[in-house]
């Protein structure tokens, strides 16, 4: 086995270790933190999530009729909007925003964790927190793989029903509720539990303080996600 294969198998073992024995795994990672590996894991999660979003969006029924586009984008404009082209553009946009959202969530949540942890007198670097937060996102890879599988199997009718259930009279409350549901899923809570351990190891804080920093960061992240279109 060459050096490249050794690094690859070592990376996989580190990810598996986050599931089996997170505390010892995070301690080992902190001895030689690799932001490149953490970024690679986030990239894989982002790509899988983007593919799932692409599939879901492509299955949603067309709600824009050709008659609505006869006048173009503006009154008096001669060329009509092509509904199929608009659908394709929205589908690609959904995948791109999902891709950006995964990275945005990782960066913003790590910054929040660092800020709250330092406020609570924790001692640790932002780079190491960014690395550990990437590894702590490992449960989200399972979630996105399941979403990708579901995106192939779900019917158009079931997808439309699920979309309709998200509609609320209050746009703001709806955005906050959707952001909370996306954050506090089973896999999301699993990731939060790993982040608590990561914060404790990186900033050398007590379990109480690391839990407080993580919970505060998660709450703030939910509100930020409700206002940013790419998260």
Any residues with CB less than 8 A from the CB of 40 and at least 6 apart, and which? 11
In a domain, 69, yes or no: no
In a domain, 78, yes or no: no
Q: What is the pLDDT of residues 121-178, one digit of tens each?
A: 999 999 999 999 999 999 999 999 999 999 998 887 777 776 665 554 445 445 555 6
- Number of folded domains in the chain? 1
| Full-model pTM | 0.82
Which residue has 């598996």 as its token pair?
16
Q: What is the pLDDT of residues 45-60, one digit of tens each?
A: 999 999 999 998 888 7
Q: Which of 167, 146, 140, 152 is nearest to 54 (CA)?
A: 152
In a domain, 67, yes or no: no
Domain around 177? 3-57+83-227
């Amino acid at each position: 086995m060459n050096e490249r294969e050794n690094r690859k198998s070592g990376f996989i073992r580190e990810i598996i270790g986050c599931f089996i024995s997170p505390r010892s795994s995070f301690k080992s990672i902190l001895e030689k933190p690799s932001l490149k590996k953490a970024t690679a894991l986030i990239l894989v999660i982002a790509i899988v999530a983007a593919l799932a979003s692409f599939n879901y969006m492509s299955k949603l029924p067309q709600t824009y009729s050709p008659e609505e586009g006869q006048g173009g984008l503006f009154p008096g404009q001669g060329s009509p909007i092509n509904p199929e082209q608009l659908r394709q553009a929205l589908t690609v946009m959904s995948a791109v925003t999902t891709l950006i959202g995964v990275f945005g969530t990782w960066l913003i949540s790590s910054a929040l964790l660092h800020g709250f942890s330092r406020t609570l007198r924790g001692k640790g670097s932002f780079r190491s927190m960014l690395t550990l937060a990437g590894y702590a996102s490992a449960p989200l890879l399972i979630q996105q793989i399941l979403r990708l599988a579901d995106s192939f199997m779900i019917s158009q009718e079931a997808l439309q029903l699920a979309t309709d259930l998200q509609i609320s009279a209050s746009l703001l409350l709806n955005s906050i509720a959707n952001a909370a549901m996306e954050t506090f899923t089973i896999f999301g809570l699993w990731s939060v539990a790993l982040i608590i351990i990561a914060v404790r190891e990186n900033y050398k804080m007590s379990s109480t303080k690391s839990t407080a920093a993580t919970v505060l960061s998660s709450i703030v992240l939910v509100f930020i996600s409700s206002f940013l279109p790419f998260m």
